[in-house]
Structure 1
């Protein structure tokens, strides 16, 4: 097969697995190297938006998780004291009607396992305990790359896909220097509650009837939603970062966490009383890169390795899945007929993905600003704008981008398949 590539994907996170699935569907030989000993991805909850779920449906992955996810019937934004600022009822049906694919809240592990299962069905080799130590990209365009892992094994590849996340070895190799991520000034308390931990009947009902809730407050906000068919509740508290430099994740102190939310909505503070353990995660970002493709066109970066995002629009995972899909689709036999096309194909990938990925990352900072306002004139103006449209069809820019009629279609309406088809067509005319 003239077009068939040996592809090594570094990282079995969501971007790497998405890339491996679509590249395998496009007829390539794919191997995934993952440093972890087992695939039990941490991070708890995940919000999957239609730009990703339509791909998961096409790959047959969504069917595997559909009984474990929750589609929120309502999306509500409250101020920190519990006053409703915005609410969309029938959110689940509205999203399906507008975008032809669901908005689903799921456990990250469930999705990762479903992606791995599908990748293996397609012949992808997934090698665990394979920590990449170096990548030799050769000395000329068209060279094969050599990927070395701890223990000495070396794997040859026509293309290395760097999907190894925020602390990417591939990025450092690409740049020729160590390149650690930068703190954003925020951290996340990540909580997963089992339904059995919640005794209050009202709170239990809230968890068992899937909805998505945001509380916006001074310098902080909270997002909460149901997963695993209403048997689990995911809560993320976004607050100013007080972790020491060099500490990316640590166990959180429950009393310290609760103290930060004293005076907030009683529904939230009561929920926090059910928590018996919590993790603190420093939220990091990176400077935009000049290129995601190396000069020899045998190494490309995707996902958090090149465009990590604050979790404020839930697009880190979704845009990473888009990356993997677009890369694999561009390498499909109808678009890619020989290895000599790799440089131009990777440039087209970058053209399609870089501006969008970076624009979403910038939009997350704007969402932080709108949800973290301190009490004062700016916050009052925000509340007035939101309350003025409560119960009405939204019109124009809206502080909650989750339902904003300008931002939502741009995020959720993205169709990777159509984007690739249009881009390939334009290169041929």
Structure 2
């Protein structure tokens, strides 16, 4: 298959996509309750450029048309109305999946440097926020958090400063930040492996900062992400520095395990209802998914999860919660609930396949499975915003690495012997 060619503008837009991927508030308001991230705008350009490749075209068509197909079949069975706004937000949210495939093909190994840069920037600014502002009882940069569709940080600032004090950087909340940076960290490791580049000192600094800020964020991702990041980063070094690592690794893993234990103990406090609300919203959504055959196979329709919760159609009264549950706190479960197992679940399974398949470092695919765990926890348990770029951008990036590796393998394949050419 003919490979895509890219010009300088394509690469500039790809870099802009990577930078904006960790700036969710860099967005245009769309009505009073949602927004259009600039990352999706940059991604739209790359998607158009990449659709010349049949693989990217069919990937994009398949995932973007899923809610429309579910709605088409649903109209013969239920009276649920098709939501134009909901379908539009689906397209906006899913653009990163295909756009990141194109970005990887355009940037190739240069992607490593940009992933490193956004990790250092995001983790660094979150640490500054924590130790120089939140610990002093101040929530800084309130002017940044002014885009519809996210938690009202301005209104919550007094509570955050007085009681919570968990860093969230330039993200709407700590779980969004922790889950995103955990995914980007494992993405950096896998990208370096794919292009056979050893991690440099500056990469280790980026990973250390990420583990640090993820641990203190108190996010559910913090329980496993630092541990898996350390393991995956050290894997390529075992053959060369087995003796040194035999001494250092137990100490590192003990420190990471201790940090994870502290997070778990803190979040299981009887005064902290965040995880209770999150888990019970998931229980309520799963229970409703299995309550009706039509809902199970075709879903409730894109954009209907929140109205179903708020109207009581999805019952929550028998589940303990600190406040009215406005939605399901799981992006991946929302995809399945709204599109059904016929159209929603295949998208999740396809993305899972991309994540694991991209790791060709060993037959066991240890890094791929570790990446899958971090990604599933981030999108299934920690992050509730569909607009979280890396939930869909990460599988796209893994597919892009897979295509790069496949193209590289074909280039190295020996051609037919000269004698055979002569005969033919």
TM-score, with length taken from structure 2: 0.28
Structure with the bigger percentage of strand: 1
